[in-house]
Amino acid sequence: MTPPRAIPRERRDVLGEGLLWSARENAVYWTDILGRRVNRLRLADGRVDSWEVPGTIGWVIERADAPGFVAGLDRRVVALTLDPLTIETIADPDRDGNRMNDAKADAAGRIWFGTMALDGARPSGAFYRLDRDGGVARVDAGYRIANGPAIAEDGRTVFHTDSGERIVYRFAVAADGSLGAREVFIRFEDGWGDPDGMTLDAEGGLWIACWGAGCVTRFTPEGARDRSIALPASQISNCIFAGEALDRMFVTSASDGVDEPEAGALFEIDPGCTGTPTHLSRMRRAG
């Protein structure tokens, strides 16, 4: 297994997040929430591009039937293009003092996203579902730091995290997108860090970015801690499988509040397995 490497580029992220594998562009996108940027790494030549946006940006999801992305900007859901920069509000479902944090699309083209208080100190965040018709449903609430949705390939299970409480939850998902009861799937122990962004591998293993612990950790489908890959930065925030074979893993980190040489880097690591495909938004209105 090859050691982690930081992707060469001119700047580091204040708070890297929102990783997205774009198969149609052969590129990895990610956001710098506090740096107010969308970044792109082209796998063909290693070029990194960056676009400044007018607000905190938690996530971008590619659109299947329109140019650009659906994105979480400040507390809004927007339709976003980068060249040229255009922004159109789709929904504004949350409250003052909150912002978007992370999101994933499922195979049906719906987007699942979480919100949090700007300071992460209050349980004012919630978990939402953006449907294909542009409607937004609030499916769970009471989160300090809503984080890391991960969706099983069959669409019948969604994992969601409250990083502030150090708990990964599991929900059953009905065909109409309604959720079953919230179940505690993993409760992080001392020394594991805080669970942040997540992704699933082809065997059903859940890979979790461990904020404060400087690693990405795999958990088995039963929720047992399996193995960890150490990284040269403590604030690890998200992870995703990428590449044509989905056998490359990219990991974001944050430099906010720490003095570390590699803090805020985008890393590539060798996970020793393959991931599941990234899904697109199939929302039919706006943009």
Q: Which residues are tagged catalytic?
A: 196
The answer to whether 69 and 61 are in contact (CB under 8 A) is: yes
* 3-state SS record for the chain: CCCCEECCCCCCCCEEEEEEEECCCCEEEEEECCCCEEEEEECCCCCEEEEECCCCEEEEEEECCCCCEEEEECCEEEEEEECCEEEEEEECCCCCCEEEEEEEECCCCCEEEEEEECCCCCCCEEEEEECCCCCEEEEEEEECEEEEEEECCCCCEEEEEECCCCEEEEEEECCCCCECCCEEEEECCCCCCEEEEEEEECCCCEEEEEECCCEEEEECCCCCEEEEEECCCCEEEEEEEECCCCCEEEEEEECCCCCCCCCCCCEEECCCCCECCCCCECCCCCC
Q: What six digits make up the tokens of 2?
A: 């090859």
